[in-house]
Amino acid sequence: AQSVTQPDIHITVSEGASLELRCNYSYGATPYLFWYVQSPGQGLQLLLKYFSGDTLVQGIKGFEAEFKRSQSSFNLRKPSVHWSDAAEYFCAVGARGNTPLVFGKGTRLSVIA
């Protein structure tokens, strides 16, 4: 079965600084990988996903993520953070079959002036 780890529970960055959120997964084959964002009191919104092909994936809101098979990672990056990026971020991994996604416990991002 697949699993996913988000090592950072809470990260604080300054507005305009770069951001990297870590995600490590465990799965015996090439997984499907996702990043979602959740604002307080809202549902989850898909930022980007990786199924196959180019390992650098572009998403919405200026985010990107890179699939690194050798490191079993799918880290989320943004070159310049905006105050509106403050939210909870979830990484998820899916197996190549009809089984539910497995979500990480989330990383809460705070943005300071």
Partner 1 sequence: SQTIHQWPATLVQPVGSPLSLECTVEGTSNPNLYWYRQAAGRGLQLLFYSVGIGQISSEVPQNLSASRPQDRQFILSSKKLLLSDSGFYLCAWERGQGRTDTQYFGPGTRLTVL
Please tell me whether residue 59 binds partner 1 under the rule CB under 8 A. Answer: no
Among the listed residues 9, 16, 25, the one whose alpha carbon sits nearest the alpha carbon of residue 103: 25
CA dihedral 84, 8, 103, 97 (to 10 degrees): 110
| Residue 22 DSSP code | -
Please tell me whether residue 100 binds partner 1 under the rule CB under 8 A. Answer: yes
Q: Are 48 and 58 in contact (CB under 8 A)?
A: yes
Please tell me whether residue 45 binds partner 1 under the rule CB under 8 A. Answer: yes
Counting residues that bind partner 1 (by CB under 8 A) gives 24
Residue with tokens 């943004």: 78
Interface with partner 1 (CB under 8 A), residue from 71, 99, 110, 112: 99
Q: Which alpha helices (H) appear in 1-113, and where do they start and end?
A: none
Q: Which stretch binds partner 1 (CB under 8 A): 21-29, 63-71, 78-86, 94-102?
A: 94-102
Please tell me whether residue 52 binds partner 1 under the rule CB under 8 A. Answer: no
Interface with partner 1 (CB under 8 A), residue from 35, 59, 67, 106: 106
Q: Which stretch binds partner 1 (CB under 8 A): 17-25, 66-74, 75-83, 86-94?
A: 86-94
